[in-house]
Amino acid sequence: MQILLPILRDQREQTFYQDFHRGLADGLRALGHEPVEFSFQSLGEPRQEEAERLLRQLDGAKIGAVLDLCCWAYGLSQITLEMQGSARKSIFDVFDIRYVGLLCDQPYHQALNGIGAQQRYAAYPDRGHPEQVKLAFPDFKLTGEIFVPPAIRPANDRSVHKGSPDRSIDVLYVGNLETLALDRFWNDRLSLFWQGEYDPVFCDALTETALSEPDRSFHLNIQTTLEKLGPPIPGFLFNPQMRAVETYLRYVLRRNAVVALARSGVRMRVVGRGWDTIQLPSNVELQGETNYEEFFKLAGQAKICLDASMYLDGANDRVFSYALNGAVCFTNAAGYLRGAFGENQGMCFYSMRDLAGLVEQVKALLARPDAIRAAGERAREIVLSSHTWRSRVGDLLGALPPKPAEAGGRMTSIPPPARRQ
């Protein structure tokens, strides 16, 4: 099958986006499919040149689906063509192409609702995201939803001594700290994080619920909050409230986990911007924000890596990359990963409600170099066998239903691309 892979032209250094794109292409080829790359230059409304080039590329091809990372190419689905005997159609509907948006963040941070194709699917990294989509975009309908976390490319293994207790970093944390987001900015219209119409009562109530149940999926905490406050007034928008509270929780929880380990005295390397603005003890080595290639090198030098996640019933790419590089990952995201890895199989789980327990687990493991080595090797075996992009692409395409019959109609003209209202 031919699969269209749109990619945003970006001259900056390597990021997760380019790496994921390569992983998808590699996975498709490994399964006997043909990736068809289409580059575009801007998010949102495409250029006329891009619309014409896309039409030429699709004409005569046999594209079965388009896989769009982060929904960044959603503007391409808004290119419409006039048809004989019917209204204008999305270019992907004309060629009977299924559009799959691969979400790489929380749904309300991405332009999922901008997809103009009729055959539209969402591939989520967390099993709780379908419920979040219903809240964030209540009038937006999807043809199907698929659970597909990110994966690894074996080429990203940078570990020199795989699983070795002689690695130079005892505990590694990689992630930025936006200190301005550590305050409840929805109460301050002058805040730099003010992005929409917030309901301070709802945001504060949701925050308190989530902090009291930090190991429970976000949408369940929203349900509990609604039970306490009663149904929202007509016209209430969940999207800005969810975005604001999740942003706050994201940084508060990662700060709490890092600070708990730092104050325990273990040697740590904390990588990312913003950490120099809070008080951390001398056993912590700070390193500024890094790029994706350097991230893999750091993972290959670490014995233990800390993950503080908001994907409680799914996974981010970091946990798999840590495992690929033979490091033992401690994560609070146990909903999916516990089943994927099992107990004592290179992935360790902790609760945000018990950070003292996290400290005890980390210290105990650091005292057992052989256990670190064995756990790291086992984690690497698991991701190489079950969490490559080849596996993910197979799961994704296997979840799509067979293509419907040949699309009807003929194009009569190619108007300029129009944004979907």
CA distance 307 to 186: 27
Q: DSSP letters along 137-152, please?
A: -TT---SEEEE----B
Q: What is the pTM of this model?
A: 0.91
Segment 153-197, tens digit of pLDDT: 999 999 865 545 578 999 999 999 999 899 999 988 767 677 778
CA distance 384 to 18: 20
- Give the tokens for residue 243: 């975005």
Q: Residue 421: pLDDT above 80? A: no
Segment 214-237, tens digit of pLDDT: 999 999 999 999 999 999 988 899
Q: Which has the minimum average pLDDT: 238-242, 316-320, 402-406?
A: 402-406
Q: Are 290 and 298 in contact (CB under 8 A)?
A: yes
Segment 135-155, tens digit of pLDDT: 999 999 999 999 999 999 999
Q: Can you give the pLDDT at residue 340? A: 92
Residue type, 117: A
Segment 404-420, tens digit of pLDDT: 554 443 343 444 443 33
CA distance 226 to 219: 11
Percentages helix, strand, coil for the chain (3-state, rounded to 5) are 45, 20, 40
CA distance 146 to 26: 20
Q: Residues 222, 228, 229, 230: is their CA dihedral positive or negative?
A: positive
Q: Can you give the pLDDT at residue 11? A: 56
